[in-house]
Amino acid sequence: MTDMHIAVIGAGMAGLACASELARAGIRVTVLERSRGLGGRLATRRDGALAFDHGAQFFTARNGPFARFVEAAGRAGATAAWRPRIREDDRTWDAPLDEWHVGLPGMSTAVRPLSRGVELRAGTGVQGLRRAAGGWELVTDADGPSRRFDAVAVAVPAPQALGLLEGLGHRFQRIAAVRMAPCWTAMIGFDPAVDAGADVRRWTSGPIAWAACDSSKPGRPAGTQCWVVHASWAWSREHLEDDPVDVGRQLLHEFGIACGLRLPAPASLGAHRWRHAFVEQPLGAACLVDEQGAIGACGDWCIAPRVEAAFESGRALAHALLPIVGRALPVLPG
């Protein structure tokens, strides 16, 4: 059989879950990622000795395949359970035992077990796709000749996926119905530490939606206390094009008001804008695939705003592409 080569665009949970399943079937897989690291919104930002999980804060494992992945990743030291004290408005409780999980030593590490056996090309943005003889060529911002692939899996946020796919088949027009919300994130270091009344604070109204003490997570650096603060969708939309320095200061101020605290001057302060952070309206299908073109799309935006949904969508796309390229997954013992 001719050696098959599939490109996966995006190295978040969905893309790497797809790539891992394809590689398990003996297919050569190249993952192209615009940023320098893996994980997508499973992201960790470092500021000297400080570490902030400034994207997805934790994940749950409700179903068999993802639960098995998380269990194996835990045995490998890539993930651990986190049981924070939570306060939502005026109600306080502890997270359920062994239900919330985080990457070790940062959220981005959680996807690394899925990257084994695939070729990774970080720092390579894909600008377009064009049909080639018997497959596809990717237009990238990297130097060097283009490469031909037998099939393509697009695993990026819905608006970016639509930009790549909308002219390649009517079924991809469905992506236009997906809605994703932005999120401004502040990363704040305090020394001395502050007492916000819980490790995790959530608010159902106001400019702040979430705040978490990352220092309460397992395996995090000791010393300066690290907090991640997420603005609400509405606030983030209103301030979408604001300067990050100004946003960081505003969210620090709003965090203090929401907690009823007079906060000290931070030891570290930064902000990051996620244009496509949360799924407001999902696609309502596990993935999208054009069998004739051997191309498809996946992501949490297909199913629901959960890390596990991204994993499930990526696997679903891999299983949809395998028959198209004439491969099947090996039968596992037991």
Tens-digit pLDDT profile for residues 116-138: 999 999 999 999 999 988 899 99
Tokens of 157: 């946020």
Res 194: pLDDT:
97
The helix (run of H) or strand (run of E) holding residue 237 is helix 233-238
* Position 92, amino acid: T
Q: Above 60 in pLDDT, residue 96?
A: yes
Read off the pLDDT of each residue in 219-247 and give the average, rounded to a whole number.
Answer: 97
* Residue 317 CB partners (closer than 8 Å, separation 6+): 14, 18, 153, 155, 286, 287, 289, 296, 297, 298
Q: Which residue has the tokens 């409700």?
A: 62
- pLDDT over 70 at 333, yes or no: no
Q: Looking at the domain that runs over 1-34+123-178+282-334, which CATH code has it been given?
A: 3.50.50.60
Whether the pLDDT of residue 334 is over 70: the answer is no
What are residue 88's DSSP bridge partners? 91, 202
Supply the pLDDT for residue 207. 98
**Tokens at residue 111, please?**
């996807």
pTM of the model: 0.94
**Domains of the chain: which residue ranges?**
1-34+123-178+282-334, 43-107+179-280
In a 3-state reduction of DSSP, which class is residue 81?
Answer: strand
Fold (topology level) of 43-107+179-280:
Polyamine Oxidase; Chain A, domain 2 (3.90.660)
Looking at the DSSP bridge assignments, the partners of residue 200 are 86, 212
What gap in Å lies between CA 308 and CA 218, rounded to an integer?
20
